[in-house]
Structure 1
């Protein structure tokens, strides 16, 4: 047992996360979803443009699959915003929703253009149209340019991603397999990582380089959309590369946004369970962060050990953070009263110390990764941890930690010596001045 120093369930509410934003004249808190009747998968507290009333929000929600109307994910330093939603429900025609258009256009400045980045291929979009879905008609969203960045297999959640991960795990277990077999089994999973990073980089580039706001969505907005919006923030926002920032990102983009953890994690992802709805979406997100960590190891406050710990607790945990599919379900089962948050445990000093990156140097700039296949690395610490002995790597990491601490101690000692030297110089100058005054008196 351990004492709870802070309640992880209350650390990252919208009122806290968007404090600076809400102080402006552009955004406000809305409680229109307090009974979860507008959107069952969104949280009860939402941040919406101040110029948008609740009736407009409801009308837009009725136009989007599952009620997932365009909602704020992130506001960049240059004023551009990142939104996410689900697909529009066109019902086989170019059905229009002026309320939805109003919400999107409200985040754009005069004569500004934005991007709608659809996580599906045009073929998949056409398939969705036949079922009542689709994508925004260009004629009704003329301030927005549409870009297709397909992550179809992730968006469909048809079991193929889980199958690819299962093949990777099998390959990691077969130490006698041929090179061709190894590469063929690993390539599909690594392709998912590459495509997700590529899409996130595009979103980040639109926000940072082009100075344009972005709406991201696929079909339901529960899988590929959340991966891309989350990784784009890790690329752009240095706060997301800290311990607290990562926790806040997971709360904001995954838990409060209604990623169905119970459904997706019903069976452990290392086994191809063939269970409907099971998919390692969250693992793709964590693996993408691992890739960024490998390329920018000094830009993250935490070690990849923290990512592995979060991954494990998302499947098997004595904490309640990843239980249920959405906030509504967590409220129904009184989860916040009956369980403890994982963040309450991780943020304890005795636990947190072992997860901190000793080489961390705060980097306030975006980190632009290479997404070339040669730049991506298999996550050995996770996928090969039962195959490859990690002791040597851990000893090396411990040695690095000791060297970094030794360097800090030396810098501290040098600072003290400099101060002592300055004090002695001042004393010397006083003595010289007094001696000179004595000579003048003589």
Structure 2
């Protein structure tokens, strides 16, 4: 398919651009295969370059011969274009609608983008599981040296005798949403991992998410166990989870669903860990919403922000009614609980919800930000996003397909990643000196997750990105690691 087939009118002169907090600008509007461009000859006026993939919805209005297109973007911007001529306005609107809803991933802009800067590091290979394993392992010699010189142990070093790199998922043979290489207990062989994968939702068997150097406790994550109504069990799964415990220690299983939801999942083949089969583990249920509930919450929040007719009391009432801050509170409370289990109680934890690709990742990521200073640096936060979101299988293409303005909504669309970034912002506001970055960094990540010239957030998992993106698109992380 040629993009020219979708562009009915490629150029219109004397178009007036209106944006909040900016003066109106008159210029020439051009449509390309991936951008809407408005260029003006006025001095000190920047060109508008808007990716079609950033367009969430458009509205058309007509007053006599003048047509108006209101563009609502996924990053919440609202842009108004006054176009002379009804036919030109209809053609532009039709072209934008077609270009902003392309289905094929290979037609996206990242496959056509050519950077104007020198790429000195491959972002696709900047944060690999081998490097994380090496990071933990390299701490051994360093901390052992400290212990030798200072005669006391400052940290509990990563025990390479207890963990290993597993290549069981090579070519994504076991789980399409996991990376080819994962870190698992050394006492569990690959054949056992394959059996555990059949017992966990989506093949997402428990893997190492975080190792706490202070006391050697770990965070594991997985999908829900497929116990069903018959109480199915898997001894390999029980052995794998118990292998993460030290002698005489107990662990916690944090289920990000309410007990009622977890029990209802059994009727669909899912379920939760039975205490009789996991006696060394205590199960805790923390209800974190997802899917359409979060999407509706975001829509109400954006509506409240855009409504400038009410007073402060009315605004606060609408903010509360959106439940956005309630969701943030639930997630942060669960993350703090996980951090306390690790640091205060000296207990390892396993975190999962249903699939293990949404609320699970929110909690594991935030717990690491609380516990690990490295995660609060720019490089460490990039590694966290790569490890706990991209490699961990968060379906970005489904969750970020639309934002708050689109009228046609799918059940899998949900601002899970945006909610996580907002949670990080809440922590950042309380402890600004503990972070190497500011809110602009978080905003940039949000914008690129929904529309970008880079391929980092395309696809729904590592297997899709491996097929489509890593050989034909540039990773967003290459910009961050080289800047």
Is residue 250 of structure 2 the alignment partner of residue 117 of structure 1? no
Is residue 271 of structure 2 the alignment partner of residue 134 of structure 1? yes
**Aligned twin of 2:39:** none
Is residue 122 of structure 2 the alignment partner of residue 7 of structure 1? yes
Is residue 222 of structure 2 the alignment partner of residue 88 of structure 1? no
Once the 2 structures are TM-superposed, how far is the Cα of residue 22 of structure 1 from its aligned partner? Answer: 4.9
TM-score for both structures, normalised by structure 2: 0.70
Q: Which runs of 4+ in 1 moved over 3 A?
A: 20-23, 178-181, 269-273
Select the structure that is richer in helix.
1
Is residue 300 of structure 2 the alignment partner of residue 167 of structure 1? yes
Aligned to 2:479, which of 341, 345, 370? 345
Once the 2 structures are TM-superposed, how far is the Cα of residue 332 of structure 1 from its aligned partner? Answer: 1.9
Residues 292-333 of structure 1 show CA distances to partners (whole Å, capped at 9, x for unaligned) of 100001110011100000100001100011010111111222
**Aligned twin of 2:173:** 37
**Aligned twin of 2:32:** none
**Aligned twin of 2:387:** 252
Distance 2:183 2:257 in 1: 26
Is residue 281 of structure 2 the alignment partner of residue 144 of structure 1? yes
Residues 213-260 of structure 1 show CA distances to partners (whole Å, capped at 9, x for unaligned) of 000011111110000000000000000000000100000000001100
**Aligned twin of 1:394:** none
Distance 2:339 2:228 in 1: 32
**Aligned twin of 1:316:** 451
Is residue 443 of structure 2 the alignment partner of residue 328 of structure 1? no
Contact preservation (8 Å) 2:133, 2:165 = no
C-alpha RMSD of the superposition? 1.3
Select the structure that is richer in strand.
2
User: SS of the residue aligned with 1:347?
Assistant: helix
Which structure has the larger Rg over C-alpha atoms?
A: 1
Residues 148-188 of structure 1 show CA distances to partners (whole Å, capped at 9, x for unaligned) of 1111x22xx2x111111111111111112244542233220
**Aligned twin of 2:434:** 299
When the two structures are aligned, how many residues end up with a matched partner? 344
Once the 2 structures are TM-superposed, how far is the Cα of residue 111 of structure 1 from its aligned partner? Answer: 1.8
**Aligned twin of 2:399:** 264
**Aligned twin of 1:17:** 132
Distance 1:256 1:347 in 2: 18
Distance 2:174 2:463 in 1: 12
TM-score for both structures, normalised by structure 1: 0.76
Contact preservation (8 Å) 1:29, 1:48 = yes
Residues 104-126 of structure 1 show CA distances to partners (whole Å, capped at 9, x for unaligned) of 00010112100001101111111
Is residue 198 of structure 2 the alignment partner of residue 62 of structure 1? yes
Once the 2 structures are TM-superposed, how far is the Cα of residue 347 of structure 1 from its aligned partner? Answer: 2.9
Contact preservation (8 Å) 2:402, 2:409 = no
**Aligned twin of 1:26:** 162
Distance 1:181 1:51 in 2: 59
Is residue 316 of structure 2 the alignment partner of residue 183 of structure 1? yes
Superposition pairs for residues 205-284 of structure 1, below 5 Å? 205-269=340-404, 271=406, 273-284=408-419
Distance 1:22 1:273 in 2: 49
Contact preservation (8 Å) 1:165, 1:270 = no
Residues 318-351 of structure 1 show CA distances to partners (whole Å, capped at 9, x for unaligned) of 0011010111111222x112111111112333xx
Once the 2 structures are TM-superposed, how far is the Cα of residue 273 of structure 1 from its aligned partner? Answer: 4.2
Distance 2:232 2:311 in 1: 54
